Structure 1
């Protein structure tokens, strides 16, 4: 066995083989490949040497294939088809026909504020596409890198570096109480805010920033109940005189769905952006692009809606 037996065929030689089999003509191959006839003859010589067969023999009816060429033509065309497939731009994502599950990292607050609207739109546009909400935790970065999640929605400073990001809307802070609260009517003074008892939320970087900002201003809250998330928050507010300080979109959702009221937070607190984040590996993925575009279309209007 010679070294030539182990040499991969050049792509131009595969194209020559295919064209020669179709045209049975050196001159027509030269024309279609944009080469001179002597060059085509040289290429054909290399092809014959590598495959160990004359492949095409000159007759009165043109260059006729040998039995070995007849045997190889199907394989050659399959190989060319695979190369063309690799070279072709990715097909556009067709939501009406797509069958896929999108996994989105989000907080439990986003389950109530963002997920319902996103699901409704996807159910309308992409009836065979499913959604899976994935918990935001210390593994979120690795999940996005590995493709175990498509997007992360929220305030996620740890994803500022090495990830694409797009701001969806800005959040500030509001206070939520039950409508029949005996001491809180339409506004809160800072002294009243400090005098009342509060609910604290442990989850999320936004609430860490809230605690830090209050401490920096010397504001002390009497936190009587601390929750890991927002799941039990409406029931707890309704059954008590406690105050919850929450991002505006969450407050807007709570008062829309329950007999609660929302008041401006009396303490000037810095807001924060809610963004969508995705890994560079999936920046050009057609489905991921479609999902990001849909999130931007839906949620970049949130700031105007809840003002």
Structure 2
């Protein structure tokens, strides 16, 4: 087995074990599905195990495959340290990158960034997904479904790496006729009714609540929604207050005829982190993606 098992087969095995899907593994490695099916056949012969089996309408890992998954991740991570990664060319790469983030990132700059990524690696594809809660993106990252996540969660588990990416002070978005439109008054802010977005799961989007509570600022949330795109219309029709990062508040106000009112600086800022898994720390393609995200988003 060891004489026949090469790095290409190891990477195929890792993709199969992490996606639990022949087609998913093929997409991840930029290969055709028939080629991945052939590799699965070779791996089954070498390991003496089915690895993936169909149960009902979905594929599942065998017990042997569950044991092999962390072993393969570790072996490939250690092999990656043997290579200086010289000669890596994004323009020649064919790979799918998956990024998880919130939808309050600076819209224009993030759109520019995605355009630059596509130009730099035209044969690659990019998937941008939402984040439900911490457990969601941690599970997906540990399962190999995500390359990076951009999150305001500060309690990053030890199995992941992170670096500080963005810092954004808070601001409120209100109608032009709102009492706060002339300037922030925390007494008026505390008496107002509020809209909260990012409520995809319990505790999601809690960064604003944490900052306000730490500063002793109360606010009564009357509407909670998953759909950030509905917030401007809700603010306009209800006269309620929406609190978010300053960059997002400025864009929302400019696009929808609303008013952005910065919070006092002592309230604190929303800090976003770039998060990735240890096994991709030295992988050239994943490292290139992190470098591009860091370079362009930190410059905002």
What does the per-residue CA deviation read over 1:162-200, in whole Å, with 9 as the maximum and x for residues that have no partner?
Answer: 32212112122111113x324333302112112322212
| Equivalent position of 1:144 in the other structure | 141
| Equivalent position of 2:186 in the other structure | 190
Matches within 5 A, 1:233-252: 233-252=231-250
1:175 pairs, out of 172, 179, 185, with: 172
2:163 pairs, out of 139, 163, 166, with: 166
Report the count of equivalent residues: 217
The alpha carbon displacement at 1:246 in A equals 0.8
- The gaps in structure 1 that reach 5 residues or longer are 1-7, 9-85, 303-307
TM-score if structure 2 supplies the norm length? Answer: 0.63
| Equivalent position of 1:34 in the other structure | none
In 1, are the aligned partners of 2:170 and 2:270 still within 8 Å (CA)? no
Matches within 5 A, 1:1-307: 89-90=84-85, 92-110=87-105, 112=107, 115-136=110-131, 137=133, 138-178=135-175, 180-203=176-199, 207-215=205-213, 219-266=217-264, 268-302=266-300
Dislocated runs of 4+, deviation >3 Å: 86-93, 110-115, 202-207, 212-220
Distance 2:146 2:299 in 1: 24
- State the secondary structure of the residue aligned to 1:188: coil
Larger mean CA deviation between 226-235 and 285-294 belongs to 226-235
What does the per-residue CA deviation read over 1:106-162, in whole Å, with 9 as the maximum and x for residues that have no partner?
Answer: 123238466423212112222222111233232311222232110011212232523
- The gaps in structure 2 that reach 5 residues or longer are 4-80
Distance 1:155 1:88, change over 3 A: closer
In 1, are the aligned partners of 2:110 and 2:297 still within 8 Å (CA)? no
The alpha carbon displacement at 1:276 in A equals 0.6
In 2, are the aligned partners of 1:206 and 1:272 still within 8 Å (CA)? no
Structure 1 or 2, whichever has the larger Rg, is 1
TM-score if structure 1 supplies the norm length? Answer: 0.62
- State the secondary structure of the residue aligned to 1:289: helix
| Equivalent position of 2:17 in the other structure | none
In 2, are the aligned partners of 1:108 and 1:231 still within 8 Å (CA)? no
Distance 1:202 1:139, change over 3 A: closer
The alpha carbon displacement at 1:262 in A equals 0.9
- State the secondary structure of the residue aligned to 1:232: helix
- State the secondary structure of the residue aligned to 1:291: helix
